[in-house]
Structure 1
Amino acid sequence: MPAELPGYYYDASANRYFKIQPNHIAPSGANYSRQAVNAQKVIQKSQRREEESQLSKQSATVSRSSVLKNPLLNFERRLGKLCVGTIVAEYYAASLKGADAIATRLKNETDHRFSDGSIKKFAIARGSGALLAALAGPHVHEVAYVSTIPRRGRPLLVGDLPEQVQNWSTCNNEDLEGRLYDVRQNHTVHYAYHMREVCCIVANPYNSVCWATVNPEGDSEFGITHYDESFLPNVRYAIRGSQIMDLAVSPTSGSVAMATSDGISIYSSFDKVFSANLRQTPVRGEQMVVEFKDEWVVMSGARNGRLVLCDVRSPDNMSAVFRIQHSSAISGLAPMPDGHQILVNGLLDMKIYDLRYLPAPVRSESPRKVSKSRSRSKRPAHYAPTTPVLTFSVPEVRHQNQYGLGFAYDPELNVVVRASTDHVHNHRVGIWSASSGRLLKSPLNEHKFTAPVTCAQIERVRDGPKSILLASDGLLTEWCVQGRGFENEQEVGP
């Protein structure tokens, strides 16, 4: 096969290369653009590097332990396999198989809201496994919807008691037609008109869903909508001149934190009686992601890699502190089960930090040239990256390169799911072990998506191990240990 050269195309009939002219029409499937060729070179370089690393590991000599124990103890420790949870995560990742969670087309389908490529963002209701989906209308930016779809064989509503949430009864017909959700049972709870797009959606306790919309002018709207029969009034807040970037719900009380282009706001005191207030926190400036570390501490991340912690237990005396300087723009946050460690997902890397041993961020010299006429006090502050306790192995081809991609962490399996894209055709999802930081071997890592994965969730929606739900190209797919396979895959008999 002839080599692909940037700026040239190969003509098989003439057996020579021709320079691409401005009016050149590329044939179907052509990948000789400069961006495509460079992306392919990066992929091949990363693959060669991984192969060389694997060969070097296989040829390395294992030294015997100096103590009278297993001679492979030191080797096992370096591989991170001393923890039983790591072995469970490896087995889980290797056994994953993908399938469509919602049929792409239904017979005699009349609801245009569920046409192909309509799901953009989604969340899973706690306990019931219901799908809370943000949908796009048949025409771009005409109207958007927030709909609820019950898990097939499960009730849409569940009680708020822990024993009711954790009770997951077996249903005989849950796999009828091989899909998790039946779109014919959908119920729209909110319509977003005037060219608004649903940019964030999260599940809230008490059978409600939180959502945020944005219009082309940059104005945002935040709302909480109930989908039970209590007929509580819905809440909507219009935010002029500020864009909502992310939403997060507290573990128990249902308070909502909003990351906006102006800072962090807290919507609190929300309960069944419906009393609430919206207040601004001391965290100012553009914040891209927000998450609750615990019930009273909110953490947020920005483009410059700064992670800020804010204590919100006192409405009139909230305090914020700059705690971590990450090495790249922060696009995802997750608290670890021990309560001291934080998983930070950046556009180029992933790291785990332990708050107990972190020093204050150290200011460093600015790498950029600053005009001498500018006052020293007005120069932007630059800080050295904080030292983590664990750095994940993220190859260059696994870089996210943009905001709005899927990211999820599950403390039970102790695995991280992270989407990536190269803006050409390498749209993938990887699964990592949070104990060793290694990319686990899994069919999910090798699967290529037709478009970037915009949302990811790890939830228990079946009687068994948790499932990984992914939204890509407007479609919802499920990856689980007991998966069935995609519609275009044919089962091969014995």
Structure 2
Amino acid sequence: MAPPEIPGFYYDPYKRRYFKVENSKTAPTNAAWSSDNVKKRKFKDREAVTKSRRLELDAKRIAPPPIMRDLRASRFLKRETGEDIRDFAAVSFARDIVEMGHVPSGFSSTSSNLRHLALSTNCSVAVTSLDGDNLKTTHFVTNPNTQRVSWDPTSRTRSRSQSSVSCIKYSKKLHGVLIVCDDLSSLPYVMYDPGLWFREAHFERSVSLAGIQLGPDQPPVQRHSRDMEYFAGYFICPSTENNDTVALIGTDRGLVSLTEPMGLRYITPISGRNSSSYTTRFRDIFAIDYQVNHHSTFFMGGRPGQFHKGDLREAPMSWDSMTLPNSIAHIKSVSDYQVLVAGLNNMLSIFDLRYCRYSPASDDNPYHKALPLLNIPGYKNMAHFTLGFDFDKDTGVVAAAHDDGKVALYSVRDGRRLPSPVIDAIHSGYGPIHCIQMQALPGDNMPRLFMGEDNQIKVYSVDASK
């Protein structure tokens, strides 16, 4: 607080005391309390205040050009002038996204959200499941003028009963939908060319457990062994077109590969009731994703927080492994070295594999706590493995469902939550949302967000017409 001004006295801030203003003729040379110096100081202070006010008023009079008022155009301009706008695509997508139609799934019940969703490559056919025991197929079309999505009235909705469906994914390699259930003794199924399947209502044969091939380091396993009475499938990850396998399947006993022609093969050692500590390290695989730009290297993880970097060309005992603080529900490869991991206890983090402490899976104590490169705050998932989750590499946007029925968008570049008026307003009254998929339609510059809300497939995207 400035000291009060006393008429006829000068306050020295360095000596912290008042001096009586003295005539310049009698005051010492260059004395701060001389009358001339006091007058000069007051004049300079008034000039400084006037200049500051003038600058403040001039700044208000300068109006930004109209192009700077538009977020997308202003970011383009800043990027062209040399500024690093890394989150331009993500911020623009989250800010401008709107609802672009909905497609009925064919289920009449409105007491819960869709459990599973798979879209064909051209996003014209959707395979859905509401209760995990029934599958329905739906065709939809896009209006060329408004780009809105709606149900195709010329098609029919087909259905099939199938118990305990745990995961469905579309395979670009087979041009069909892969379906895996809790009991692998009768699955996975493959629907070749979903559009054709809907018209013919023809389901391909299933793979029986008797057709499972054993790896070179696996002992013979009998079909009716007590350890093989139940073999649960959790997750299926379609392989790339350059891969020899069709898909990788995460189970409660380890990792299994689906090969052509429709055969199963153990990748990791089988874990049973009396398995060693080595085999139990590969149990309960809930998430799998191939490394970016690699068709043989992949990441997998599950419970309790076991993370593995696998290579189909090497034996599992030589794979790198580490442990995370919580169980893993989702894994997405962001780049050659960065991995996005979501799990229980509100865990959403990005790990840089170049700085993580690994150890071989064959080590007696292989798991070391890994420190994330970036923690993303705000994610809410305490105890669910099946919440909706997806990541778009082009925009760097993460779409994640929360356990309270809400959905949020995040940026993988800085970990912040992206404000989105439309997405932030979503609040399902039927519990958490399980189906979220980001995929671009043919001709789109931005991805579309497909979400299973209630018994419908809702579509969100940036409206290019505005």
Q: 1:144 aligns with which of 134, 140, 160?
A: 134
Q: Tell me, in whole angstroms, the C-alpha distance in 1 between the residues paired with 2:318 and 2:203.
A: 33
Q: Deviations over 1:132-174 (max 9, x none)?
A: 32234xxx67x51252x34415xxxxxxxxxxxxxxxxx6367
2:373 match: 389
Q: Deviations over 1:96-150 (max 9, x none)?
A: 223542158xxxxxxx656656843112222x112332234xxx67x51252x34
Task: Please give the TM-score of this superposition, normalised by the length of structure 2.
Answer: 0.64
Distance change >3 Å, CA 475–CA 150, structure 1 → 2 = closer
Q: For residue 381 of structure 1, report the CA deviation from its aligned partner.
A: 6.1
Q: 2:119 aligns with which of 117, 124, 136?
A: 124
1:454 match: 434
Q: Deviations over 1:194-216 (max 9, x none)?
A: xx03221101124211011237x
1:400-479 alignment to 2 at 5 Å? 400-421=382-403, 426-443=404-421, 444-451=423-430, 452-461=432-441, 463-479=444-460
Q: For residue 83 of structure 1, report the CA deviation from its aligned partner.
A: 4.3
Note if contact 1:132-1:203 (Cα within 8 Å) is conserved in structure 2. no
Q: For residue 429 of structure 1, report the CA deviation from its aligned partner.
A: 0.8
State the one-letter code of the partner of 1:333: I
2:165 match: 198
Distance change >3 Å, CA 125–CA 410, structure 1 → 2 = same
Q: For residue 311 of structure 1, report the CA deviation from its aligned partner.
A: 1.4
Q: For residue 220 of structure 1, report the CA deviation from its aligned partner.
A: 6.1
Q: Tell me, in whole angstroms, the C-alpha distance in 2 between the residues paired with 1:87 and 1:248.
A: 30
Q: Deviations over 1:72-99 (max 9, x none)?
A: xxxxxxxxx9742312211211112235
Q: Tell me, in whole angstroms, the C-alpha distance in 1 between the residues paired with 2:303 and 2:83.
A: 36
Q: Deviations over 1:340-387 (max 9, x none)?
A: 211111222111122222222699xxxxxxxxxxxxxxxx96955212
Q: Tell me, in whole angstroms, the C-alpha distance in 1 between the residues paired with 2:113 and 2:418.
A: 31
Q: Tell me, in whole angstroms, the C-alpha distance in 2 between the residues paired with 1:320 and 1:340.
A: 19
State the one-letter code of the partner of 1:132: A
1:135 match: 129
Q: Which moved more, 1:317-326 or 1:401-410?
A: 317-326
Q: Deviations over 1:396-453 (max 9, x none)?
A: xx235311101101100011111111xxxx3111111000011111121342122311
Q: Tell me, in whole angstroms, the C-alpha distance in 1 between the residues paired with 2:192 and 2:369.
A: 43
Question: Does residue 250 in structure 1 map to residue 217 in structure 2?
Answer: no
Distance change >3 Å, CA 277–CA 115, structure 1 → 2 = same
Q: Tell me, in whole angstroms, the C-alpha distance in 2 between the residues paired with 1:356 and 1:207.
A: 35
Q: Deviations over 1:312-342 (max 9, x none)?
A: 136xx555524232221111001123x1211
1:228-239 alignment to 2 at 5 Å? 234-238=204-208
Q: Deviations over 1:197-252 (max 9, x none)?
A: 3221101124211011237xx96621111136599982412455011111101232
Q: For residue 305 of structure 1, report the CA deviation from its aligned partner.
A: 0.9
Distance change >3 Å, CA 173–CA 307, structure 1 → 2 = same
Q: Tell me, in whole angstroms, the C-alpha distance in 1 between the residues paired with 2:329 and 2:129.
A: 23
Q: Which moved more, 1:299-308 or 1:284-293?
A: 284-293
Identity across matched positions, percent: 16
Q: Which moved more, 1:304-313 or 1:383-392?
A: 383-392
Question: Does residue 222 in structure 1 map to residue 219 in structure 2?
Answer: no
Question: Does residue 182 in structure 1 map to residue 162 in structure 2?
Answer: no
Q: 1:326 aligns with which of 324, 341, 344?
A: 324
2:381 match: 399
Q: For residue 482 of structure 1, report the CA deviation from its aligned partner.
A: 1.7
Q: For residue 483 of structure 1, report the CA deviation from its aligned partner.
A: 9.2
What secondary structure is seen at the aligned counterpart in 2 of 1:454?
Answer: coil
Q: Which moved more, 1:95-104 or 1:206-215?
A: 95-104
Q: Tell me, in whole angstroms, the C-alpha distance in 1 between the residues paired with 2:113 and 2:284.
A: 29
State the one-letter code of the partner of 1:182: D
Q: Tell me, in whole angstroms, the C-alpha distance in 2 between the residues paired with 1:229 and 1:89.
A: 36
State the one-letter code of the partner of 1:236: S
